[in-house]
Amino acid sequence: MGKTRMFWFLFFVGFCAAYKPVVFIHGFNGTPEDGNLIKDIIQKMHPGTLYYTANAFNRTDTVKPLWEEVAIVKPQLVKYMEAHPDGIHLICYSQGGLVCRGLLSTIPDHNVDTLIAVSSPMAGIYGDPHHLELYEKFSDFLAPLNNDSISPHITEFKHNFLRIKRMVLIGGPNDGLIRPWQSSLFGFYDENEIVQDMKKQQYFIKDSFGLRTMYEQNRLFMYNIKGIVHKQWVRNPDVIKGVFMKWLN
């Protein structure tokens, strides 16, 4: 191979290797194929980027308790992390965002560079905001992660969560499924059923799991995008190109 051809070959290999691998985790009643358009756009705009899916829980498996889903996905995600010690990006869609919260709160040496949570009910979905005591007593997923139930593991959860270098939250008022849609941005109803944003939530005020720290360190980014219904977040090329791709360095 001539010197010129060798130069361009090495340049291309180095250029492609510059992009961190991307792992896609789908949502409720979903499959890895839900991320096909994301994969296609990534590979066109960032040639050579490695793309993986968590092909571990599909369709009916997504009705399992969330900690069970976390346990199912964890071995695959750890394998991807170990294969790429320089870090990976996570794109987590819908319920997949909650699974990612559980994963990144319980993997002590994870190397996630950017977590992109796409229309994920990070603060939960509307049930009954008038019975917070029951939530604190019986929720075995969000309440411990938020330290609403005084979790003995909260120090570990917070330490692990803060290993995320950047978190990107995406949601919008026309979602139609996530209630309130502001849950995608860590907002939720108060006792009067009025939506309060992230900064007024106790887990933010108390910095229970590191959300406030991440915000104050300028590592938290939020998008409020109008006109997108829930199923279209991962099927809209404008959102993928204009928002997702910005963060996939």
User: Per residue in 185-204, pLDDT tens?
Assistant: 999 999 889 999 999 999 99
Reply yes or no on whether 230 is catalytic. yes
Reply yes or no on whether 153 is catalytic. no
Region 213-241: what's the mean pLDDT?
Answer: 98
Reply yes or no on whether 238 is catalytic. no
Region 211-237: what's the mean pLDDT?
Answer: 98
Q: What is the pLDDT of residue 6?
A: 43
The 3-class secondary structure across the chain, one letter per residue, is: CCHHHHHHHHHHHHHHHCCCCEEEECCCCCCHHHHHHHHHHHHHHCCCCCEEECCCCCHHHHHCCHHHHHHHHHHHHHHHHHHCCCCEEEEEECHHHHHHHHHHHHCCCCCEEEEEEECCCCCCCCCCCCCHHHHHHHCCCHHHHHCCCCCCCHHHHHHHHCCCCEEEEEECCCCCCCCCHHHHHCCEECCCCCEECHHHCHHHHCCCCCHHHHHHCCCEEEEECCCCCHHHCCCCHHHHHHCHHHHCC
Selected catalytic residue, list 120, 151, 175, 183? 175
Is residue 96 predicted with pLDDT exceeding 60? yes
Is residue 57 predicted with pLDDT exceeding 60? yes
User: Per residue in 42-51, pLDDT tens?
Assistant: 999 999 999 9
Region 169-198: what's the mean pLDDT?
Answer: 96
